[in-house]
Amino acid sequence: MAEDLLLSANTVAAASVFVLGLIVAWDAFWLTRQRSDIPELGELSNGGFAWQSEGPHEVIRQWGNLASMAAMIALPWALLEASNTSYWYAILWDALLSLHIISLLIPKRYAITRTHLFADGQRYSWNRLRLARRQPTRRIMLLRQGWGIFGPLPLGGGQNDLSLARSRIETALDNEAKWPHNDMKRIEEE
């Protein structure tokens, strides 16, 4: 009777692949926005700063995610026979994870304005961010307040860009209470 209540391995695999597909599509959507949200690089007319990373910078930024995804690609193959799950779900799983890995390695655009940080196609208000106490040497580590263990928000880029960005971030975080807030969607409007 208890066996009748359990879902089949293929049903669980299909649900897992579906959820992963939604995550990959969601991330792809936000990545497509970065060029429209950050149309220019360098010093911005509103006093902000925008920069772009390169592939190696994203490897440094995402090394933890890349390692965990490598494990996630290999793990289903060890469980297929034991769970009597179709190989097609593992193939789809690996294909989607591979697309996600590629999206992690694509060079990203970042921008700092007086009210927001733009990263990964999203906009973060300064009152929801703080600099991590211990900073890595080749990236900037911000923490999203209220996110717990999912809170790290690393920023990638060249050393010159990161040095300038860090000084702007420190200024933005120090002056956050002084600056007026607005809900403008694009950085050229801020």
The pTM is what?
Answer: 0.76
| pLDDT score of 176 | 61
pLDDT of 190 over the 60 cut? no
**Exposed, middle or buried by CB within 10 Å (0-12, 13-18, 19+), for 116?**
buried
Residue 5 covered by a domain: no
Residue 2 covered by a domain: no
pLDDT class of 122 with cuts at 50, 70, 90: confident
Residue 24 structural domain:
10-189
| pLDDT score of 78 | 82
Tell me the percentage of the chain whose pLDDT exceeds 70.
89
Residue 4 covered by a domain: no
Q: What is the mean pLDDT of residues 42-50?
A: 87
Q: How many domains does the chain have?
A: 1
* Tokens, residue 30: 């936000």
In angstroms, what CA-CA distances link 184 with 1, 32, 42, 76, 181? 57, 18, 20, 44, 9
